[in-house]
Amino acid sequence: MYRYLIVLTVAAAVGLQGWRTLFNNFAVDIAGISGFHVGMIQSVREIPGFLALLVIFFLHFIKEHSLSSVSIMILGAGVMLTGIFPTYSGLMLTTLVMSLGFHYYETTNQSLTLQYFDEHESPIFLGLQRSLSSAASIGIGVFIYLLFPYLSFKVLFFVIGFLVVIAGAWAFTQDPVDKGKPKQHKKMIFKRKYFLFYLLTLLSGARRQIFVVFSVFLLVKKFHFSVQQITLLFVVNNIINYFFAPLIGKAIVRFGEKRILMLEYSSLIVIFISYAFVESRILIAGLYVIDHIFFNFAIAIRTYFQKIADPKDFAPSTAVSFTINHLAAVILPAVGGLLWLINYRIPFIAGAVLSMMSLSSVFFMKQVVGKVRIVR
């Protein structure tokens, strides 16, 4: 399972990062769409996450690890098709397909990680996944940076998506299951003791959508970053995260989820306010990198859940949490796109408010500190 999840996580990172690197410039330069259209597309992108509850239904017909590999193939197919449909409706469709694969993989990946790695190992393994995802993103970033002058958007999307499909097809032939693990419930699970986990997940989903949708769009639309400049920024960002992500997992084990999340939310308040008012291209690029570092701290929400949950609840509760995560995410990008038309600063100020709400909520979390133990 260790190797299985690593391969699929790298494939997911290649597909998503390749899509994200090219999407905004493709949308602006080729499809010619506005900030409002981008917001609408990103809202559609979150619909599969909102419907992650269906994973519970699919588990009646397909094994969880097999659903992971099929999801990766769907992700790759969506990326392959993106460059073929350079229109608003075309981007809606291909984004929906790509997102379906990505969100269903993330749901099963988180569930399998919590099932196969204990509370000491899971933060370390999740940090390792983030680190290797950054390494894969660096590779795809270098690939795009070097070949963009010679290849069209259409070819780049197709090649990246094809590589992802191949990885998913390989995984589909594997059987990494340990039959000694507890069998997962195949029904929706809602428990009062998970309320704080649900709340932090909801606020995290709303806040992250503002960053995902509007930070890069701000770089392209207001600060006129080119494809190669965006790609270079992603590469620098992922180099930093490659070394930093494993340290976050160790910090969670040593200092506990509460302290880590308090640090994250306090910092994000400052970062979102800065997004709204910074006028320097260098500073705005720096904010993007710093924001991405703190994005990794969100794994503490998952490891907190692992400590309070029944092991049989991991799969259904992960699916439920993904739906909760996307309750606001389906609406916010479209609303944010409208607010952008009034003043581009408003979505970022809203992100600061959401960060303040998260910081207030985390004070109710019980502090649990363990000893560092390196997995593998």
Per-residue pLDDT tens digits for 314-370: 777 777 777 787 777 667 777 877 888 888 899 899 899 999 999 999 998 875 544
Q: How far apart are CA 290 and CA 271, in angstroms?
A: 8
Q: How far apart are CA 7 and CA 132, in angstroms?
A: 10
**The pLDDT value given to residue 33:** 77
Residues shown for the chain: 376
**Phi/psi at 85 (5° precision):** -125, 80
Residue the block writes with tokens 């039959």: 179
Q: For 293-309, what is the mean pLDDT?
A: 86
101 CB neighbour count, 10 Å cutoff: 26
- Is the pTM above the cut of 0.85? no
In terms of C-beta density within 10 A (0-12 exposed, 13-18 middle, 19 or more buried), how is residue 204 classed? buried
Binning pLDDT at 50, 70 and 90, where does residue 267 land? very high
Q: Residues 38, 164: contact at Cβ < 8 Å?
A: no
pLDDT digits (tens, 9 = 90+) for 74-105: 999 999 999 888 888 899 999 999 999 998 99
Q: Which uninterrupted H or E stretch holds 366?
A: none
Q: How far apart are CA 188 and CA 321, in angstroms?
A: 11
Q: How far apart are CA 29 and CA 355, in angstroms?
A: 33
Residue 374 predicted with pLDDT over 70: no
* Number of H-type helices and E-type strands within the chain: 16, 0
CATH 3.40.470.10 fits 2-173+192-362, yes or no: no
277 Cβ contact list (under 8 Å, min separation 6)? 345
What are the residue boundaries of the structural domains of the chain, listed by start? 2-173+192-362
